[in-house]
């Protein structure tokens, strides 16, 4: 029996959508009618989504989005799977499509300069360039670029405080300092460069397409990337050539689970890992155990439990 492949598309665009609230129902109705599942965020500052479904149906949705003059140049990244990566379709109205928590930051008007992957090595090899990884600490733990500064933030919303207080900026003249920022797919570093511009830094750059585009295009022998890149899907992490990495996922905190972590007494399948064991209550652990039991029961029946955690 031939398996019908599922196409997943990830996309975002910073653009002023004054009528973003009115867009929700039309888009939800279209996706539902085509059996497209996933998540789309709509805000005044733009759109951010990951959706999956039958290839032809998915492309109908993408064509619909691009039929809007404001989204005509919307770019997306594709990946394939034999199983549906999502169980339902959600469209949420948000204040921001990626949460920074500051007013007056407009990436559509003030983001830094795009740098293509082929030109990234030369930029970050310059000792006068301050290279900043804008991702969360658990992502940086798996891999990053040579010379990159790790802000050690728990969430993206922590970045403004770090920029305000970090000693790496001490003694640097705003207008003379070159800053290069990067993230997984481009959305966080695009917004973070807008933050830097708002603070007075004029010479600010970000990696076009993010780490994923770099790993896709740059041969390993020429790469300045070290380690693996955490991704927000069932692959968990990828390496050069976007080959699936060695890391698994903790189904409780949804953060990467290194192979050695499974040997810890704080690891329990579907319930906890060394990273989250100390921050969940016994009630939460009990609930997670029941969910894991239901998932295993569904698997024994060759079914997929609707409560199974997905990224």
pLDDT digits (tens, 9 = 90+) for 43-54: 999 999 999 999
- Residues annotated catalytic, as ranges: 183
Same domain, 173 and 122: yes
Same domain, 207 and 111: yes
Domains contained in the chain, number: 3
Asked if residue 142 lies in contact with residue 237, where contact means CB atoms within 8 angstroms, the answer is yes
The pLDDT of 63-84, averaged and rounded, is: 91
User: Quick one: pLDDT at residue 1?
Assistant: 47
The pLDDT of 166-192, averaged and rounded, is: 90
- Alpha-helical segments (H) within 149-206: 159-165, 187-198
User: Quick one: pLDDT at residue 246?
Assistant: 83
**In the predicted model, is pLDDT for residue 311 greater than 60?**
no
How far apart are the C-alpha atoms of 212 and 214, rounded to whole Å? 5
Is residue 231 situated within a structural domain?
no
Is residue 309 situated within a structural domain?
no
Q: What angle do CA 212, 214, 218 make, to 5 degrees?
A: 135
Is residue 136 situated within a structural domain?
yes
Instruction: Dump the DSSP string for 240-285.
Output: GGG-B-S-EE-TTT--EE-GGGGGSTT-BTTTB-TTTGGGS-HHHH
- Which range, of 42-51, 223-232, 296-305, averages the lowest pLDDT? 296-305
Same domain, 82 and 133: no
Same domain, 79 and 128: no
Residues of the chain with pLDDT > 90: what percent? 68
- Which range, of 52-56, 147-151, 283-287, averages the lowest pLDDT? 283-287
Is residue 75 situated within a structural domain?
yes
Question: The CATH number of the domain where 219 resides is what?
Answer: 3.40.250.10
User: Quick one: pLDDT at residue 71?
Assistant: 98
Asked if residue 17 lies in contact with residue 41, where contact means CB atoms within 8 angstroms, the answer is no
Give the structural domain span for 271. Answer: 249-300
Question: The CATH number of the domain where 74 resides is what?
Answer: 3.30.70.100
Same domain, 154 and 205: yes
């Amino acid at each position: 029996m031939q398996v019908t492949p599922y196409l997943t598309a990830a996309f975002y665009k910073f653009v002023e959508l004054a009528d973003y609230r009115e867009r929700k129902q039309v888009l939800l109705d279209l996706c539902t009618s085509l059996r497209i599942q996933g998540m789309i965020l709509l805000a005044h500052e733009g759109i951010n989504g990951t959706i999956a479904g039958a290839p032809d149906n998915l492309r109908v949705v993408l064509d619909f989005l691009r039929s809007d003059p404001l989204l005509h140049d919307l770019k997306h990244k594709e990946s394939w799977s034999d199983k549906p990566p999502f169980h339902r379709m959600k469209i949420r109205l948000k204040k921001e499509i990626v949460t920074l928590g500051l007013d007056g930051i407009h990436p559509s008007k003030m983001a830094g300069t795009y740098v293509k992957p082929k030109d990234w090595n030369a930029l970050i090899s310059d000792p006068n360039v301050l290279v900043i990884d804008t991702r969360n600490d658990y992502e940086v733990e798996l891999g990053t670029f040579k010379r990159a500064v790790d802000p050690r933030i728990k969430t993206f919303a922590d970045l403004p405080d770090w920029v305000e207080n970090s000693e790496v900026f001490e003694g640097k003249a705003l207008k003379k300092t070159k800053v290069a920022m990067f993230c997984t797919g481009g959305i966080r570093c695009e917004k973070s460069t807008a933050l830097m511009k708002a603070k007075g830094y004029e010479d600010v750059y970000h990696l076009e397409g993010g780490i994923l585009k770099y790993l896709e295009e740059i041969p390993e022998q020429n790469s300045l990337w070290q380690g693996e890149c955490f991704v927000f899907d069932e692959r968990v992490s990828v390496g050069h050539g976007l080959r699936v990495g060695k890391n698994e996922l903790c189904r409780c905190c949804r953060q990467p689970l290194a192979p050695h972590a499974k040997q810890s007494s704080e690891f329990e399948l579907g319930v906890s890992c060394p990273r989250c064991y100390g921050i969940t209550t016994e009630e939460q652990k009990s609930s997670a155990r029941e969910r894991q039991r239901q998932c295993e029961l569904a698997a024994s029946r060759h079914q997929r439990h609707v409560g199974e955690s997905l990224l």
